[in-house]
Structure 1
């Protein structure tokens, strides 16, 4: 009733953990969609726009079902830019993307989805509630944690220990290996030319990179980022880095990410591992496991996206 209050807690991971297939679709269809999304290399915003259009819950539909009750959403964001409509595919926030947007992303990233899913997304039945829908009047959305908050906390702790800190961005996206290469170039520039930042310095960044699967190796986006980073700083002794998913699980294995420094690639070589071949095969976990540099804290119970920390001394 209009006298009721619904408090909704949303966080990253909700898209996968809260399935409710649209009429005519099955759980197997949603699983197939999720597998295709994870292998596509699409950014999280595009992925969640697609997810919204195959569900009876996502895209604001949960809050619409609660109407006329007032819905207050407390959101822990794992989305670059912190758009609450994209966190957990926005079960309580009206949809800002259309099914045309979903279809465009499917085409752009060459996704192969079940015929039943494609037929549904092409139908008006897939349309989700839009901003301005009167069923959302009076509802509230509050952001309680985000990548930016985590980076600021890390920076504060580093400064407390006397380490100058720079936050590049909390919303970096792109192919993990390419983003890793860019971060490596920045770190090398600091190490060798003392620019654009003076060392010693801790360089922090967040966001969510993607991995386009080219092979069936073991790993995740942070491990792949860091393997490309390690290749880029090979031989530079004063650089040390950590890349990890804040939920404690990076990808296909049990690690959150890994550690790397200027000796990582050489140590891999000594262990019989070709770092570039491992990167080409999406096999970063195997590479870091060979030298004992995996970061395995276990599940953290929260998710504010990725955290990358690079110390140049």
Structure 2
């Protein structure tokens, strides 16, 4: 469970990351004090809340209420301006005794009181299930301003249902978060990998494979072979292409897309499509891992990301 970044709390317990799985209040290095003797004589207290300026991480386990609460009390950054402090809290609640609930159901609430410091290119809040597939980040990896604005969102709640293997949230438009099952895998031969309309992960092998995702928001590992990812506009938009790009193709079935309507934005790591021809991209496909080879990601896109009626 990742609750901090490898540091001890003031009351002697380890609040640290473990194998990449866990829950993140702020993906960054904190500098809590190791003992009461190290606490500042003049606490730096963030305004407008209940923090005390202790620059420590505290925990409270309440068996009767079924809660574990982790409090980052005006914690300084590991480097930089240590007069700036962050105050936030993470609370886990056992829901297994609630009506209609099952053993293993629980919720996690993220509470942000103050975020005075945040580093560029550091992710914000969220969680990872540690399987390399299922993770959720509230803001995104490059949103320093969004990190500082987290207190304006109010408490953020995730509820984990053990029966359906689903996660619900109170974030608008994200009431149910997609979880991925076991990957659809290829072999060393030439394969046809066909998905459903649920969120899925495709992992081809060394064969010259054809991948046909469905309507879900899929993760497609292109793999080491020269592969073809084929589908309609609805099936491919909002998917993520990841890693191993080498002479791959991305044809859109039943769509006529002008070459000038296709672009690759390295800043956003996305293939962008201007579908209505107004000069402004309307939608796109996320990509992870850019290699300077002949691939879906390198110029000229017009030959690779093309119409295929």
- State if a TM-score over 0.5 links the two structures: no
Give the shorter-chain TM-score range.
under 0.3
| Higher normalized strand content (fraction of residues) | 2
For normalisation by structure 1, the TM-score amounts to 0.24
* Structure in which a larger fraction of residues adopt helix: 1
Scaled by the length of structure 2, the TM-score of the pair is 0.24
Point out the structure with max Rg over C-alpha: 2
Q: Whose RCO is larger (CA < 8 A, sep 6+)?
A: 1
